[in-house]
Structure 1
Amino acid sequence: MPRILLIDDDEDLGPPLAAYFQRFELQLEQAVRPSDGLRRLQQGGLDALILDVMLPEMDGFALCRLIRRDSDLPIVMLTARGDVMDRVVGLEIGADDYLPKPFEPRELVARLQTVLRRRPPLAPVASGTPSGPAPALPVWHYEGLSIDTARREVRPAGGGAIELTGSEYELLVLLARAGGRVLSRDDILTALRGHEAELYTRAVDIVVSRLRRKLEPLEAIKTVRNAGYVFALRALP
């Protein structure tokens, strides 16, 4: 059962939400202070985080930045005001999705299920047997870049793995799999969320911008004016 950590100082929110989550086979824990949440995160065993923006000690944006230094766990941010700028800032610093308060619990569950689908469980480590060697990993090779879809690792030629958030990795895989086909912003949002939702084209632009910075100096993603984005690296045999 996926384990979700809610970091929100509203002590009355966690218990009923946890009971509701059980109906969808999700286990919810709550921390009411960022320091408590960070300690719980260090213990491991979590599959996703829900962060409120308005928190004691530090706000949710600062907490998200801190978590993103060491973790690529899916993060859904909650913003009481529903301000577009709050959503933009959350995406810029590495959140995978956002939901304005007050929210419907079913919508929060749906968004969590979507980000969890982007993060498949780690495959067990294969070992060699008398019947033959362990199967090869499915790695996609491009000019200057490789994408290991089993390990969810992206590496430039001759370099170490690039730290990507769940949204950044899924966007890169989506564009690479399109094989040179231009994807519109609406196509990308629908594919990554797995369902039709309010479309904020600025959200796609933000994730693309973050991804481009991390892939520099490679020019892996090109903008096609008035159309969308396309993966620009040539596949290698």
Structure 2
Amino acid sequence: MFSKIAIIGSGNVGCWLYHVLTQKLAPQTVIESVPARDLSRLTSDADLYIFTVKDDFYEEVLQKIPFRMPMAAHTSGSLPQEILAPYTQNYGVFYPFQTISKSLLEQQYFPEVPLCIEGNNEQTTQQLLSLAHTVSDAVYPMNSEQRQQLHLAAVFASNFSNALFNMAKKILGGSGIPFEILYSLIDQTVAKIKVMCPADAQTGPAQREDHSIMQKHVAQLDEEQLKKIYQLMSEYIIEQKKKKE
């Protein structure tokens, strides 16, 4: 077990990691949180350094570390573990696969988070896996190529879905209808794909190829961008249906 872990970065992931590791490991393990913008506070006595910064800033931050680290891991879904190689002999990835918001952590909201783990050697891999199992029951050894594919899928499943929720909210807001009315529908949609293939769970005008309804919907939309998104998504649903037939 690690005696001290330093977390570099204080964004959503960094704050979540600090909270959950402190909750699970303290006081046996000292958990230190250091903002990436102020590395003067970083000490050299940690066993593990976990970097939780934006992908574009990793090189800049790593180059400012004034000592060689005994072990380091990053939390990126898209970067290879080898970016850490110049700075430590033992390195890997500790990727939390979840959408995390710092504001919810202040309400003591700690979701069960799948963790994707990779290490450059057997010892590092096993140590990171052991740490991951203290935090989560869902731990997945995963190489860089697999993790990049997972990250891409997550953008579609979470980021794009949330953008669609925002579009739906704007459409309802124009008619004075509260967004909360969609909660049950959203919950049921997610519940269905846990027991059915998403393609089999698809419903709606495009699935029925009800072109008259789709044309009315497009006419109701004021923004050209929303019209294009509606048409593109409808075309995709119809194409996927025909591939199954």
Q: What's the TM-score bracket when you normalise by the shorter of the two chains?
A: 0.3 to 0.5
Q: Which has the higher contact order (CA 8 A, sep 6+)?
A: 1
Higher share in strand: 1
Higher share in helix: 2
Give the TM-score of the pair, scaled to structure 2.
0.36
Larger Rg: 2
